[in-house]
Chains A and B, each alone.
Chain A
Amino acid sequence: MGWRKPMEQLDEQYLVSEGTSLADVTEIVSKVTEQKAPRLWWILFGISTAVTGILGLTIAYLLWTGIGIWGNNSPVAWAWDITNFVWWIGIGHAGTLISAVLYLFRQYWRTAINRFSEAMTIFAVICALMFPTIHAGRPWFLYFSLPIPNQMNMWPNFKSPLLWDVFAVSTYFTVSLLFWYVGLVPDFATLRDRATNKIRKWAYGFVALGWRGSNRHWSNYERAYLILAALSTPLVLSVHSVVSFDFATSVEPGWHTTIFPPYFVAGAVFSGFAMVMTLLIIARTVYGMHDLIRIRHLELMNKIMLTTGSLVGYAYAMEFFIAWYSGNPYERFVFINRAMGDYWWAYWSMITCNVISPQFFWFKKLRTNIPFMFVISIVINVGMWFERFVIIVTSLHHDYLPSAWGNFSPTVFDVLTYCGSLGLFFTAFLLFLRWFPMIAIAEVKMVMPQADPHLGHHGHDDHDEDEDAMTAEPAMAEE
C-alpha cells in the first residue's frame, strides 16, 4: 500500500486522532446503537415524527381533495412541489459522490462520512420521489409511467424527459441502496458479534448475511464495492442531468439552456455536501465522534462546497451573459425579470446564499470553525431551495404573452408538505443513527495507522535484510 508511505514526507496526519485503537473505533460507533438513546435524540425524534404525521394528514387531504389545495395554477403549474423534488434529489447527490467518486479517486477521508451521506442520499431520494408522485394527483395511476403491457394499450412516451426522469431517479435509488447495503454488511456483522440479547443477534445476524470476515468474504466484498462504485459514478452526473432535461428540453425561456446539466450537477453536489455537513456536525457533537470525524474532514468538505458554490455562481453569471448574447428578447426579459421582477427577493436570496456565503471558505480560519460552517451549511441549503424556486417560478410566471402572465403564492398546504418532507427525512435519519453503524467501522480501520504494515518503520529502501528482520522481531514479541 504505497499510498500511505509519503504521509510523513507530505506532513499530513492520519485520519483518526492519535492514540485511537482499532477497538476504540468499533466501540465508539457500535455503542451508539447499543446504549439508550440520548435525551436530545428523543426530543428530535418526537418533533420529526410529529411533523411526519402532519405530512401524512396533508397528503391524505391532498389525495382526497386534489392538488388544487396547493398554490399551483396556470401559468405556474410547477411550483413548490417540483422545487422540493429537485431540491431533495440534489441533496441526494452527495451520497454517491462521496461513496463512489471519492472512492475511485482514492480520497481516504471519505471513509468517516460515506455511511452518513449514503444514508442521507437514500432518505433524500425517498423525499424527492414523494413529490412527483403526489404532484401527479392520482398516484394510483403511477404505473402509467412504466412500460407495463395493459388493457389500454398505453405505453410510456420515451421521447419525454419526464419519463427519463422516472428511470434515472429509480436507477439512482436502487444503486444507492445496494451500495449502502453492501458497505453495511461487515459492520452489521460487528454489531451481531457484539450483541448480547437474542433479538439483536437475530436482527443484525440476518442482515449481515452470514458474514464471517474470511479472506474470501473480504475479497468478494472489495470487488462488489468497486463494481458498484464504477456503476454509480456515471449516475452522479446522469441523474441530475436528466432532472435538468425536464426543464432544458422545453421551449420555456429561462429553461431552454444548454448549461443546465452541468449547472444542475454542480448545484446538486453543492447542496448535498451542505446537508451532509449540517447532519454531520449535529451527530458528531451529540455522539462525540470527534476522534473519527476530525476538523480535517470538515475542512475538505468545505473546500468542495467552495468549489461547487463557485461553479454554481459561474453558471448564474453565464446564464445572464448568454441571455444577453443570444439576442432573444424573451430570454433577456426572463433574466432581467428574475433579478428585478416580482420575485427579485428570491433571486437575491439565492445569490447571497449560494454565491457569496461559500466564499468565506477561502479563509482557513473560517472553514475550520464549526459553528460558522454549520450556519453556512444551512444557508447554502436555503439558497439551493431558492435556486430551484427561481428557476421554476420566475420562468413560468412571465414567459411569452403578457396576457398569459400570472403570479404564484403558496398556500398553507404547500408549506406543510414541504416541512413535512423535512420531518420524514429527519425521522428516517434519526432511526438510522439509532440502529445503524453511522460510520463505516471496517473502512475507517483500513485508513488507520494500525492498518499500515510498515508502521513505525522509518527509512525503507536503504535497509538491508538483516536490519529489517531485527526491527520486525520486537514488534511481534509485543503482540
Chain B
Amino acid sequence: MQIFPKSLNLLPLVAALGVAVGGGIATFVVVYYFSPRFLYVGYEPEQPVPYSHRLHAGQLGMDCRYCHANVERSFEAMVPPTQTCMGCHAQIRTESARLQPVRDSWTSGEPVEWVRIHNVPDHVFFDHSVHLSAGVGCATCHGRVDRMEVVAQAEPLSMSWCLDCHRDPEPYLRPTSRITDMDWTPEDATEAERTEMVALLDRATPPENCSGCHR
C-alpha cells in the first residue's frame, strides 16, 4: 500500500540541497547586505544648510579645528555653534539665501539642526582627543572631507574596522602636526616626521579588550 508517490524518495536529497543552497544564500545576504560596510558607507543625508566642506576645508584651506574646536580636548569633535558660522558670515555673503537658516538661528537662538552622520552605538565610547594625540588623522576615519560637497560616511565604523587598526596601528599613524592635513601620505614624511612616527608607534597601546571601548 503506497501512501506517498515514489518521487518523494527525492525529498532528502532536495531538502539537503535546499538547506545547503538556502543556507549559502542566507549567509551571503547577512554577511554582505547586513554589514555596516553596505548599510552605512555612503550615508549622505541632506543637511538644513547646504554647507560645503569642499569649499571651506578644500578651496579656502580652513583647518578642521577652526569649527570642530574641541576635537583635541574632548570625546566629541563638536559640531560648531551658529556663532562660529556668523563669525565670518556676519561680514561675508550676508544676503545669501542659502545662509538664511543660519541667520534665523542667530536671531532666534535656536540651534541649526545638523544631521549626525558618523555615529557609533551607544555602548561604544569613542574618544576623539585620544586618537588625535596618538597620531590618527581626520582623513583616516572620515575620508577626504575636503573634497566632499556634502559629507558622506566614508568608512563602515564597524567593530572589526576599529580592530583592524587597534591590532596593527602602524599604517594608520601620522605625525601629530599632520593630523588635519587631508593630503598627507606616509610617503611625504620627512626624516624628523619619521622619527616622530616611530615614537608614536612605540607609545601606541590601543586596547583590544572589551572594556577598552565598551563600559
Interface residues of A (CB under 8 A from B): 149-154, 192, 201-202, 205-206, 210
The distance in angstroms between the C-alpha atoms of A154 and B208, with both chains bound, is 11
Residues of B within 8 A of A153 (CB): 159-160, 163
Asked if B58 is at the interface (CB within 8 A of a chain A CB), the reply is: no
B36 within 8 A of A: yes
Instruction: Check A152 against B159 for contact (C-beta < 8 Å).
Output: yes
Q: How far is the CB of A314 from chain B (nearest CB, A)?
A: 42
Pairwise interchain contact B160-A152, C-beta atoms closer than 8 A: yes
Interface residues of B in 72-120 (CB under 8 A from A): none
- CB distance B3 to A202 under 8 Å? yes
Known: A151-B35, A151-B160, A192-B3. 19 other contacts (CB 8 A): A149-B31, A150-B160, A151-B156, A151-B158, A151-B161, A152-B158, A152-B159, A152-B160, A153-B159, A153-B160, A153-B163, A154-B159, A202-B3, A202-B4, A205-B3, A205-B4, A206-B4, A210-B4, A210-B9
* Interchain residue pairs with CB less than 8 A apart (20): A150-B160, A151-B35, A151-B37, A151-B156, A151-B158, A151-B159, A151-B160, A151-B161, A152-B159, A152-B160, A153-B160, A153-B163, A154-B159, A201-B3, A202-B3, A202-B4, A205-B3, A205-B4, A210-B4, A210-B9
Most buried by B among A151, A201, A202: A151
Chain B residues positioned under 8 Å from A205 (CB to CB):
3-4
- From 1 to 54 in chain B, residues with beta carbon under 8 angstroms from any chain A beta carbon are 3-4, 9, 31, 35-37
Of all chain B residues, the one with the shortest Cβ separation from A195 is B3
Min CB distance, A207 to chain B, in Å?
A: 12
Shortest C-beta distance, B1 to chain A (Å), equals 8
Q: Assess whether A151 is in contact with B4, with CB atoms less than 8 Å apart.
A: no
How many interface contacts (CB-CB < 8 Å) are there between A and B?
Answer: 26
- Who on chain A is nearest to B162 by CB? A153
Tell me the complex Cα distance, A192–B37, Å. 53
Complex A-B, nearest 10 residue pairs according to Cβ-Cβ distance, in ascending order: A152-B159, A153-B160, A205-B3, A151-B158, A153-B163, A151-B35, A151-B160, A201-B3, A151-B36, A152-B160
Residues in B150-167 with C-beta less than 8 Å from chain A: 156, 158-161, 163
Judged by DSSP, the binding face of B is helix
- State in angstroms the CA–CA spacing of A445 and B204 once bound together: 74
How many angstroms between the C-alpha atoms of A354 and B161 in the bound complex?
54
Among B3, B36, B159: residue with most chain A CB under 10 A? B3
- Assembled-state Cα–Cα distance A205/B160 (Å): 50
For A151, what are the chain B residues with a Cβ–Cβ distance below 8 Å?
35-37, 156, 158-161
How near does chain A come to B126, taking the closest CB pair, in angstroms? 15
How far is B155's CA from A151's CA once the two chains are assembled, in angstroms?
13
Determine the chain B residues whose CB is within 8 A of the CB of A150 once the complex forms: 160
Which residue in chain B gives the minimum CB-CB distance to A202?
A: B3
Q: How many Å lie between the Cα of A152 and that of B9 in the bound state? A: 43
- For A202, the chain B residues whose CB sits under 8 A away are 3-4
CB nearest neighbor in B for A150 = B160
Report the separation of the CA atoms of residues A206 and B4 in the bound assembly, to the nearest whole angstrom: 8
The CA-CA distance from A205 to B4 in the complex, in Å, is 8
In this complex, what residue of B is CB-closest to A208?
Answer: B3
Interface-central residue, A153, A206, A210, by most chain B CB under 10 Å: A153
Closest CB in chain A relative to B183 CB, distance in Å? 30
> Which residues of the partner chain B approach A201 to less than 8 Å between Cβ atoms?
3
Which of chain B's residues has its CB closest to A151's CB? B158
A153 to B163, CA, bound (A): 7
The docked-state distance in angstroms from the alpha carbon of A201 to that of B163 is: 57
State how many angstroms separate the Cβ of A475 from the closest Cβ of chain B: 31
**Residue of A whose beta carbon sits closest to that of B158:** A151
Minimum CB distance partner of A201 in chain B: B3
Q: Which single residue of chain A is at the shortest CB-CB distance from B9? A: A210
Which residues in A have their C-beta under 8 angstroms from that of B4? 202, 205-206, 210
Distance to closest chain B CB from A211 (angstroms): 12
B4, B35, B156, most chain A CB atoms within 10 A: B4
A151 to B36, CA, bound (A): 7
Which residues of the partner chain B approach A149 to less than 8 Å between Cβ atoms? 31
Residues of chain A lying within 8 A (CB to CB) of residue B158: 151-152
- In the complex the two chains form, what is the Cα distance from A76 to B27 in whole Å? 39
B130 CB, nearest partner CB in chain A, Å: 20
Please name the residue on chain A nearest to B4 by beta carbon: A205
> Chain B's nearest CB lies how many Å from the CB of A66?
15
CB distance from A53 to the nearest CB of B (A): 32
Residue on A with the closest CB to B37?
A: A151
Q: Which residue of B lies closest to A193 (CB)?
A: B1
B9: A residues at CB distance < 8 A: 210
Q: Bound state CA distance, A202 and B5, in angstroms? A: 12
For B35, the chain A residues whose CB sits under 8 A away are: 151
In whole angstroms, what is the CA distance A202 to B8 when docked?
Answer: 13
* Chain B minimum-CB-distance residue to A192: B3
Contacts of B36 in A (CB 8 A): 151
In whole angstroms, how far apart are the Cα atoms of A461 and B161 in the complex? 80
Q: A205 to B5, alpha carbons, bound, how many Å? A: 12
Chain A min CB distance to B12 (Å): 9
CA gap between A210 and B10 in the complex, in Å: 12
Which residues of A are found within 8 Å of B156, using beta-carbon distances?
A: 151
Residues of A within 8 A of B159 (CB): 151-154
